[in-house]
Structures are given as C-alpha cells and as structure tokens.
Amino acid sequence: MSTLAGRRVVVTGAGGGGLGKNIALTCARAGAELIISDIAEEGLQETLKAVEAIGGKVEAKVMDLGDPESIAAFGKSIEGPLHGLVNNGAIATGIGGIGFEEIPIESWDKVMTVNVRGTWLLIRALAPQLRASGSGRIVNLASDTALWGAPNLMSYISSKGAVMAMTRGLARELGPDRVGVAAIAPGILTTPSTEYVPEARHTLYETQRAVPGPQGTEEVADVAAYLLTEAAITLTGQTLPVDHGFVFN
C-alpha cells in the first residue's frame, strides 16, 4: 500500500468499532498522523487506544455531524495544513426494513441532516486546511445500495446517492486547488452495524458477488487509504464500488 507518511488525516465515525476504526488503523499503519472523531466518546477513546497501541500518532475530538456549531468548532480546532478527510460518519442503523411510504418524516430528515448536510458542512469547514496542504484528498463513504437500488432502505440510499453527486461536484470545484475528491461504495460488511440486516440480504450479497462469501472491513480500508495518497488525484470525482463485485459501476 502507498505510504501516508507525513500526511495529516481526519477520519469521522471512528468510534463505532467497524469500518471507521479499521480505516483509522490502516492509515496509522501507513504512517498518517490522525485526527479521529465521533459523537460517541467512549467508542472514540477505544479507537484512540487501538491506534496508539500500534504506535500511531492520533488525537480524538468528539463531534456531532447533526450540529452545525459542533462541526464549525471541530474545523476551527484543526490548525495548519490537512492532507486527508475520510467522511465515514453517518446514520446507517435503525432506518431500514420498511417501505418508502412508512418512513417517518422525522427519521428521513435526521438521515439527510447527518449523512448529507453533515458531510457538506464538514468539507466546507476543512476546505481551507485541505487547500493549504497542496495535495488534499477527500474520501466520501457512499454505499453500493444506492447503485443497485436496495429496497426498504429509501432514506439511506437517497442520502448516499446525494453523497455520490456531491463527490462529482466537489471534484470540479476543488480540483483547481489540487484537492482530490472520491467516494467508495461498500456493500454489506461483517461489522456490528450490519447485525440488524436480515439474513436474506446477507445471503444475497454472499452468493451474488463475483467473489462469493462475506466481506470484512480490511480491504475497504485499504482502498480508502490509497485514495488519501498523492497518486490518487487521478481518481478524483469517481465512485468506486468496493464490494467484491456485487455491483459493476
């Protein structure tokens, strides 16, 4: 994997024990200096300790992606150039399993507030630091569910479709400043956050992937880490399905 030595990277949603934590660990192993965030302080501290245990340089900051003031304060707390931002934080659990006609408006609005508005506001807050580095990279977490149209998950797939569109637009707006913006679209991963997913959906993925079987977080984290490198500028604006070939984009 390409080195991230000397690069400062923010990873959001790092306290859940799943993909965000693994992205943080992967980036630390590649030499990145990390700033990790989450709304859950206890989980965030667990990730901080895990990164420190492998010799990584890391600091943790609690942030609520649903609160503009919290996002603005987080952005102001980061001084100096920033080389990478991984927008992993999102609402993904407790919002699926019902048809689009049954989704409460309050639930829809909460998903859009965190997953879409929160992503936009954080990028806006950190854009000066990313520009200042001369080689800033943004990795947005989308989902392959938005590519194939997973049923009974309308608020989530709509939010992740918006993230893909945001990725394309931001790539053009930030490109002149050598800031690259890409998205990755995982499928169902074997993490605590997917335990609620019906077994039939897990089976669908595991049997219909080009490379059959379950998928963990490690390979997805490796792709995210590569997209933070200087060489990854060639992939700006792209959404990469990272699901062992369940969806071909």
Which token pair is 57? 């340089």
d(CA 189, CA 173): 32
pTM, entire model? 0.95
Cβ-based burial of 5 (10 A; exposed 0-12, middle 13-18, buried ≥19): exposed
Lowest mean pLDDT: which of 6-10, 110-114, 183-187, 206-210? 206-210
CB 31 within 8 A of CB 6: yes
pLDDT of residue 77: 98
Does residue 1 carry a pLDDT above 60? no
pLDDT of residue 194: 62
Domains located in the chain, CATH noted: 8-242 (3.40.50.720)
Q: Is 156 a catalytic residue?
A: yes
Would you call 185 helix, strand, or coil by DSSP? strand
Mean of per-residue pLDDT scores for the chain: 95
d(CA 203, CA 206): 5
d(CA 121, CA 110): 15
Strand 180-186 relative to strand 137-141, pairing: parallel
